[in-house]
Chain A
Amino acid sequence: MWRPRSFLLAGLILILASLQPAWGQAPVPVIFWHGMGGHLGTVVQALVTQFNESQSAYRVEAIYKGSYDEVVTAAIAAYRAQDPPHLVQVYEVGTQTMLMSGAIYPVYQLMSDHGYQVDWESFVAPVLSYYSKDGNLYSMPFNSSTPILYYNKDAFAQAGLDPEQPPATWDEVEAFSRQIMERDAASCGFTIQWPSWTMIENMRAWHGLPIATQENGFAGLDVELLINDEFGRMHVGKLAEWAKSGIFQYGGRGGSSDPLFLNGQCAIFIASSAAMGTIRQAASFNWATAMLPHWGEPYEKVNSIIGGASLWVLKGARNPDAYAGVAAFLHFLTQPEQQAFWHKETGYIAISNPANELLEREGHFEANPDQRTAWAQLTYSPPTPHTRGLRLGNFIQIRDVIEEELENIFAGTKTAEQGLDDAVARANRLLRDFADLYR
C-alpha cells in the first residue's frame, strides 16, 4: 500500500542524516592538492591521517592531482574560477611564478596571523633560503632533495678500486671510470639524472659560482644567466668529451637514466638524494653514496642547492575558516617527529636542524650513513648569495632550454661553447619576457 507519510518520514530521516555532522562540531575541511604518486603518495596520506587524528577541528583532504605540471595547471584553473584549494604543492621551478602571482598567502604571514611562533633559524639554511624573499618564508618547503653521488661498490671492487673510496673529484671520476671500463666491470663510467639541475645549477653552486646575475635572481627581475663562462665551458666541454668516449652515458631527462645505474651498466650515478628509495629497492648490488665530485682548486667548495617542491597557500578559497587549519597542518608538518618520519620513508631531507639532530640521536644516520650525505652536503658551509637557490622567472622553460642545448652538446651537434651561448641567449629572452610582465 502506498503511504505518503512513510515516504515523507524516510525523506526527513535521510535529510537529517546528511546534516548529521553539523550537530557535533564538524571538522573544517582543508583542501590540499599534491603531485606525489605511488609510494610517496602513501606517505603523504599517512602524514595527513596522523594530523586528522591528532585534532578534531580540521580535516585535511589530500588530493593527488597528477604530475607536478598538472597540479600547477589545475591550481591555476581553480584560482581563476575563484575556487582554489587552500594548499598546493608546486615544484621548485614554479617558485618565481607563484611568488609574483598575487594569488598567494605567504606562509610566514599565515603562521604569524594564526599565532604560531616559528623558529625559522632552526631550518636547514639552503632549504629555507630557496623559498624565502627578503628574509621571510613564502612557501613551506615540503619535499627537498639535492643531487649526490651513488656508486656501485661491486663494480669498484671488480675493477680493482677500493669500494670504500668513492671519487671526490672529477679527475677521479674520469680515472675511476676508465679503470672500470678497461677491467670490464661496467660498460660506462657514469650517468646523471636531471641534467640542468645536477650538472649546471648544482655544479655551479657547489663551486661557489653564480648561476645568474642579481644573486641568482633573488635581488631583482632584470636577471641574466651566467652559465657560459669559463667554468661552464670547461665542465660541459668535459662532459661532451666523456660522452663521446663513452665514459659518460646520457640517459635522458628527469629520472629516465635510473635503469643505466640499476642494471649495472654505469658504475657511478649523480642523482637526487630522493632516488635512494628506488635504488635501495631495485639495485641488486652493493652501493654507497658520497658528496658531489668537485673540480678542486682554484674553485671554492660551498654547498649544493635543493630541488623538489614546496607547499603554497592560495588566497581566495571559498572557506576562509580553513586557513587556520592550514596553519595548524603546516605547523604539524614541520615538527621533528613528522620530518624524521618523512625523511626515513622517502629519502627527502628533513628540513629542520632539530629534526636532523633527532635522526642523529636515534642513531638513524649511523645505521644509514648514506642518508646523511645530502644533509652534510647542503650544510657544507653557510650559503653565499650564489648558493641560496635560484629565483628565475619562466624557469620551467629555462630549464627546458638548458637541457635541450645540453642534449645538442652531448650528441655532438653543437660545441659546448655554442650550446651554452645559445642556451644563455634563449634564457635571457625568457627572463626579459618575465620582467616585462611585471614591470
Chain B
Amino acid sequence: MVHRPVFRNRLLPYLLVLPQVAISVIFFFWPAAASLRYAVMRASPFGDRLFYVGLANFERLFTSAQYHRSLVTTLVFSLGVTVLGMLIALGLAVLANQKIRGLPAYRTALLWPYGIAPVVAGIIWLFLAHPAYGVLTYYLRAATGLSFNWLVDGRIALGLVIVASVWARLGYNIAFFLAGLQQIPQTLLEAATVDGASALQRFWHVTRPLLSPITLFLLVTNTTFSLFETFGVIDAITRGGPGGATETLVYKAYKDGFIALDVGSSGAQSVVLMVLAIILTALQFRFGERRVTY
C-alpha cells in the first residue's frame, strides 16, 4: 500500500496554502483583472468619465507609429541585454572557475553588482556617462574626439541603457553559470583530456551541453528581466528619451498610465505585455527543452 500523508484536519491544508493564494490574488489576479477591465475602457483620470470602447484601445495601439517603434526598441533592447549579458557572464564565470590564487576575492567582486538595485545601477551609469559631467564620457571624448551625447543621439542612449542593464544583471548570471560549471564532474573533463580534446573542444562538447539546463533557465529569467525589470535603469538614465529612443514597452505602459493618467491605453498595453510574457516563456520551454541535456 502506498503511504499517502493525510492531514487529520480537513481545514488545515487550505489554511496552509491560504497565504500564498491570498498574495497571488491581491498582487497578481486582482491587478491583472483590473488591467483587463481598463483595457476596454476610456477613462478620465479621476474616473468621473468612463466609457466602454471595446477593442479601440488595442486598435489604436497597433496602428500607432510610436507603439511600433517601442516594440522594435524593446526587441533590440531585450536581445542586447540577454545575449550580451549571458555571453559576458559565461566568459567571466569560466575564468572564475579556474584554480587561481585569490579566487574568493575575484568571485566576490564579480557577484557584487547583483547586490545593487536596478535604479541605483542606473544612477551609477548616469553619473559615469553623463554628457556634461560623466567621467567615462570625458575620457571617451578625450580619446576619440566624439561627443557621446546620448541626450541627443538615440542610438547611443539605447546602447547605454543596454550596457547599464547588462552590468546590473551580471552578478546574477555569473552566480548561476558558476554554480553550473561547478556541477560538471571533473572526471568527464579529465576523460576528454585523455582522449586528446583541446580546451575549446572540451568546452564545446562537454561543458556546453552539461550547462544547458542553467543556460535555458538564465535565458528565461534574463528575457523576463530585460522586458520587465529594467524599468529602473531606464527611468534613472534616459526616461525613455531622447525622442522616444529608449521607450520600451514597459516604460511606455508606465508613462502612459502613471504620468499621463491614460489608464485605458496603459491597461491595453499591460494586457499586450502579459500575453507577450506568456508566449515567450511557453516558447522557450517548448523549443528550449529539446536542446537541453539534463
Write the residues of chain A forming the contact surface with B, with a CB cutoff of 8 angstroms.
69, 72-73, 76, 79-80, 97, 100-103, 243, 249-253, 256-257, 259-260, 263, 265, 394, 396-397, 400, 403-405, 407-408, 410-411, 413, 426, 433, 436-438
Contacts and interface: CB of A to CB of B under 8 A. Distances in A.
Interface string B252-294: 0001101111100000000000000000000000000000000
B209 interface: no
Contacts of A411: 152-154, 242-243
Contacts of A252: 151, 241-242
A251 B132 contact: yes
B134 to A, nearest CB: 10
A256 B126 CA distance: 11
B46 interface: yes
B47 interface: yes
A397 B262 contact: yes
Given A101-B46, A101-B48, A438-B49, A69 B259 contact: yes
A256 B236 CA distance: 12
A252 B239 CA distance: 10
Contacts of B169: none
A80 B243 contact: no
A73 B261 contact: yes
A408 B153 CA distance: 9
Contacts of B132: 251, 257, 259-260, 263, 265
A256 B49 CA distance: 36
Contacts of B42: 433, 436-437
Interface in B121-142: 130-133
A429 to B, nearest CB: 9
Nearest to B133: A259
Contacts of B256: 397
Nearest to A403: B241
A135 B239 CA distance: 38
A73 B258 contact: yes
A407 B152 contact: yes
A259 B51 CA distance: 46
B244 interface: yes
A253 B241 contact: yes
A259 B151 CA distance: 13
B152 A101 contact: no
A68 B193 CA distance: 64
B31 interface: no
B219 to A, nearest CB: 33
Secondary structure of the B side of the interface? loop
Given A250-B151, A404-B243, A413-B243, A76 B46 contact: yes
A47 to B, nearest CB: 28
B45 interface: yes
Nearest to B255: A400
A399 to B, nearest CB: 10
Contact of A404 (B46, B47, B241): B241
Contact of B152 (A394, A404, A410, A426): A410
B261 A97 contact: yes
Contacts of A413: 154, 243
Nearest to A436: B42
A259 B162 CA distance: 25
B44 interface: yes
19 contacts: A69-B258, A69-B259, A72-B45, A73-B261, A76-B47, A97-B45, A97-B46, A243-B152, A250-B149, A251-B132, A253-B239, A404-B241, A407-B243, A411-B153, A426-B66, A437-B42, A437-B44, A438-B44, A438-B49
A191 B206 CA distance: 58
Given A103-B48, A396-B261, 9 more contacts: A73-B258, A101-B46, A257-B132, A263-B132, A404-B242, A411-B152, A426-B66, A433-B42, A437-B44
B104 to A, nearest CB: 40
B46 A102 contact: yes
Interface in B186-245: 239, 241-244
Contacts of A257: 132
Contact of B151 (A97, A251, A405): A251
Contacts of A251: 131-132, 151
Interface string B20-36: 00000000000000000
Nearest to A191: B132
A408 B242 CA distance: 8
B100 to A, nearest CB: 43
A97 B259 CA distance: 12
Q: Which of A257, A394, A411 has the most CB of B within 10 A?
A: A411
Nearest to A401: B66
Nearest to A256: B151
A403 B133 CA distance: 23
Nearest to A73: B258
A396 B259 contact: yes
Contacts of B258: 69, 73
B30 to A, nearest CB: 15
A103 B45 CA distance: 11
Given A73-B261, A397-B260, A408 B243 contact: yes
A103 B244 contact: no
Contacts of B259: 69, 396, 400
Nearest to B48: A102
A38 to B, nearest CB: 17
A103 B46 contact: yes
Nearest to A246: B147
A394 B78 CA distance: 31
